[in-house]
Amino acid sequence: MWGAEDVARASVRRQGAGLSAAQVADKVAEAARRERETSAQLDSPVADPGPYATDPEDLAEQWAARHTEWRRVAALIDTCGWPAYDPGQDVQGSQWARERDELRTGARTRHAAWQQERQDARDELRTEVWLAADPSRRLRAVAARTGLRPEHLLAQLADHARLNDDGTLTIDPFTPR
């Protein structure tokens, strides 16, 4: 869901809070070193990466994005003359954070709706009914007069059906909708 830039922005915003210009410069240097290392690993084959190894291209992309973001924060501190990085004063970083939160909220809402649809689908009953010719003709005639499809008329009949204590089935008069 999130690209390397999004992850880097969130990570730097979280880790950079309260860091001085010198500490941010150290983070820029570390990110540059890690970017070089991960880029170099792309060219060298790995014998056995193991079951928990990350994708080398993904890792290189993440460190390149972090390096870019740390440089942006260092330039911001230098330009604004801040004694330390304050994510609340970082207008661009705050806008990106709001956009990420909106995307996350939208994704959670869509996921909840999808889960509800799946639950509703599990609760549905799908069946095939074979009727004799005479009841079938009557059902089709009633459905035609009401403007419903026969399966919708049967569903409404089932909605209005009651099972009495003596085992008989009763359907009170109703108007199909």
DSSP per residue, 58-120: HHHHHHHHHHHHHHHHHHHHHHHT-SB--TTT-HHHHHHHHHHHHHHHHHHHHHHHHHHHHHH
Q: Looking at the structure, do residues 18 and 45 belong to the same domain, yes or no?
A: yes
Phi first, then psi, for residue 111 (nearest 5°) are -65, -40
- pLDDT tens digit sequence for 72-114: 999 999 999 999 999 999 999 999 999 999 999 999 999 999 9
Same domain, yes or no: 76 and 141: no
Same domain flag for 148 and 90? no
pLDDT tier for residue 2 given thresholds of 50, 70 and 90: confident
* Cβ atoms within 10 Å, residue 24: 24
Residue 103 shares a structural domain with residue 160: no
Give per-residue pLDDT as tens, 48-77: 666 656 677 888 899 999 999 999 999 999
Band (pLDDT 50/70/90 cuts) for residue 46 is low
pLDDT at 135 over 70: yes
What is the chain's Cα-based Rg? Answer: 32
Q: Identify whether the C-beta of residue 36 lies closer than 8 Å to the C-beta of residue 64.
A: no
> Residue 43 pLDDT > 90, yes or no?
no
105 and 139 inside one domain: no
Q: Which residues contact 15 (CB under 8 A, 6 or more apart)?
A: 27
pLDDT computed for residue 49 by the predictor: 61
| Domain assignment present for 31 | yes
The predicted pLDDT at position 164 comes to 92
39, two tokens: 């880029």
Q: How many domains does the chain have?
A: 2
Reply yes or no on whether the pLDDT at 47 is more than 80: no
Q: Are residues 38 and 67 in the same domain?
A: yes
Residue at 128 is within a domain: no
Domain range for residue 80? Answer: 4-123
For residue 153, pLDDT over 70 is answered with: yes
Spatial distance between the Cα atoms of 80 and 76, rounded to a whole number of angstroms: 6
Give yes or no: residues 28 and 105 share one domain: yes
Query: 118 with 137, same domain?
Result: no
Mean residue pLDDT across the chain: 89
Question: What pLDDT shows up at residue 134?
Answer: 93
